[in-house]
Amino acid sequence: MNNNIYFLIEIIFLAFFLLWFVLHITDRRRVFNGLAFFVSLGSLWTLLFLIGYINDIKILNIITGAIILAVIILLPILYIIGIIVLFTTGRTVIKREGFSLSHVLSILLGVGIISSSFILPIFIDKIKSKVLIGVMGFFITVFSYFVLGFIIFLTSSLIYNLWYEKRNKDYLIVLGAGLSGDKVTPLLAGRIDKAIEFYNSQKEKGVKPPKIIMSGGQGPDEVVSEALAMKNYALEMNIPEEDILMEDKSTNTEENLKFSTDLIKKDSDKDNPEVLFFTTNYHVLRAGILAKSLELNYNGLGSKTKFYYYVSAIIREYIGIIYLNLSKNILFAIFIGIIYFVNYII
């Protein structure tokens, strides 16, 4: 292989390495960004390997070899840790928050991973019917597709939360999350605190502080609207009343964003004001994707939540993402499952 071909291959892998940076900077509200991140890491490794191999650079050969060895060692360790985390956090969230379907999601995922990794393959070895083995392989393939999708979504969500937002915002939208009586819950307080922290940091930089929109209607079991309870909390935290707006009609995230946007259009004297929304860290990517679907150029920041709750919540968010394109996800999963089935039978 001549030097021109080597150079072309290196350029291709350099382009793949830069893929994630380009996608993330242009719009980080994509689940695909998580896949692009892994492709970029793999491309960087391949690029370093090629440079070291072609130019006989021993230090690069050692580095790329060590990386592969570390991955081989870490993968089974991460698998075991992941299973332990799914079961222990599931048990904890049920113990502290009560039993519900959403609270057992992490346990169900753990059972599914163990079954597809060990239990079903053991049965496959003992079954003589190719059709039955093909059917079992079909379900393992479909389940694996959704597990891989979850890993990509989780990666995208974690990366999304690392972004630094410029202190130049005109409006901050705080998404509601239920009340305890007429008071905000600790989870909702975390969202408001995150917005207040941003508000104060922008003010400290000498920039005009943004207005904070408290967004949330009054549910059938709530004594006041979420927006009013959120406003009262912010007032207790010394936010001036003139810097607080209330959107008290919404019942879900999509309405939070739509109705708050209507309020901004009425209040703002700018054509394109800078807007940032605040929610909990596990919810911020899906809220961003919803904003994108509404053609709103909004990004968000997420407040922290307890780790035991985060695991089940991020699985629930992933299910919400699947639901946004339910037919496409199911059809593609079935398609690759059928490919496995037909390939095995033939």
Look up the pTM and report it.
0.91
pLDDT in tens, 230-272: 999 999 999 999 999 999 999 999 999 999 999 999 999 998 9
Q: How far apart are CA 89 and CA 97, in angstroms?
A: 11
Q: In 295-322, which positions are buried (b, 16+ CB within 10 angstroms) versus exposed (e)?
A: ebebbbbbbebbebbbbbbbbbbbeebb
pLDDT in tens, 22-52: 999 999 999 999 999 999 999 999 999 989 9
Q: Burial, 145: exposed, middle or buried (Cβ in 10 Å; 0-12, 13-18, 19+)?
A: middle
Average pLDDT over residues 137-147: 92
pLDDT band at 124; cut points 50, 70, 90: confident
Higher pLDDT, 260 or 219: 260
In the sheet that 171-175 helps form, which strands lie side by side, from edge to edge?
244-247, 211-215, 171-175, 275-280, 299-303
- With a pLDDT cut of 90, the percent of the chain lying above it is 79
pLDDT for 1: 53
Q: Among 17-26, 79-88, 114-123, which is the least confidently predicted range?
A: 114-123
pLDDT band at 125; cut points 50, 70, 90: confident
Q: How far apart are CA 36 and CA 49, in angstroms?
A: 20
